[in-house]
Every structure is written in C-alpha cells, then in structure tokens.
Amino acid sequence: MAVSDTVLSAVHVAAKAAADKLSEDIVAIDVSSRLPFADAFLLASADTDRQVKAVVSAVEDELREAGFSVQRREGLEAATWVAVEADGLMVHVFQPEERHYYGLERLWKDCPRIDISADIQTAPAAVTA
C-alpha cells in the first residue's frame, strides 16, 4: 500500500508549517503498509514546551487552511510530545529528550522515508542579533 496523494499533500503542508516555526530534525515516514489508522508520520523536534505548542498550532492551522480535517490532538498540556491526527497523517512534535527516549525513527526504521527536503528548506532563516 502506498501513501495517498491526499496524505502526501498533508505531509508537505505540515512539514512546511513545522519548518516555518523553526522546528528541527523534521522527518516524514511512510507507514501505510504497517498501520491501519495512518499512512504517514511526520516527526519534528522543538526545544521548549512553548515552541512545541507553537509548532503544533501552526501545523494545525495550516492543515485546516489547506482543507484537511484535524481529528485529534494529545499531549498539549505537558507539551513534551504532542500527537496530532489529520486525515491519515500523524504529526508528532517532541522535545528532544522525549524524541530520543521513545525512538519512533528506530521503531519504524524499515519504513520508507518521504522526501520533504523542499518543504523544510523554504523555512525562514533564523534571525541573529
């Protein structure tokens, strides 16, 4: 089974939104042949709970604006790992320690990656003083 064009579009929208909020280590994984409830995972890291919340908010806003339905969100209160479900895409935004501990990349290492390089390269450059 392959990731549908609809989910691929959602992956690209979410990846760009995460990158625009300066999220790091953004990775997209095709889990369509392994899971019945999702076709793709998007993983991203953010250094603080405040940044995790900002990334999640931006991802949800951009997905909705693009016509996708955000069905569920878990973990926003603690904001160390927030999962967002949207039309076959699961977005996971972690603080680095949580991401390392749970190791979703290791769990899904046999699944193909989705190329999002164009989406994350268009993020704004960090402002330096």
CA-to-CA separations, 72 to 37, 66, 83, 90, in angstroms, rounded: 13, 17, 8, 10
Angle at 27 (CA atoms; ends 34, 83), nearest 5 degrees: 70
Distance of CA 122 to the CA centre of its chain: 16
The pTM for the full model equals 0.90
Domain boundaries, the chain: 5-114
CATH of 5-114, one of 3.30.460.10, 3.40.50.300, 3.40.50.2000, 3.40.50.1000: 3.30.460.10
**pLDDT at position 1, please?**
65
Amino acid at 47: D
**pLDDT at position 121, please?**
82
pLDDT tens sequence across 78-104: 999 999 999 999 999 999 999 999 999
Q: Say if residue 71's pLDDT is above 80.
A: yes
Q: Are the C-beta atoms of 35 and 56 separated by less than 8 Å?
A: no
User: How far is it, in rounded angstroms, from Cα 34 to Cα 26?
Assistant: 21
Distance of CA 25 to the CA centre of its chain: 10
**pLDDT at position 124, please?**
55
**pLDDT at position 2, please?**
84
Q: Considering just the CA atoms, what is the radius of gyration of the chain in Å?
A: 14
Amino acid at 64: R
User: How far is it, in rounded angstroms, from Cα 60 to Cα 78?
Assistant: 18
pLDDT tens sequence across 2-45: 889 999 999 999 999 999 999 999 999 999 999 989 999 999 99
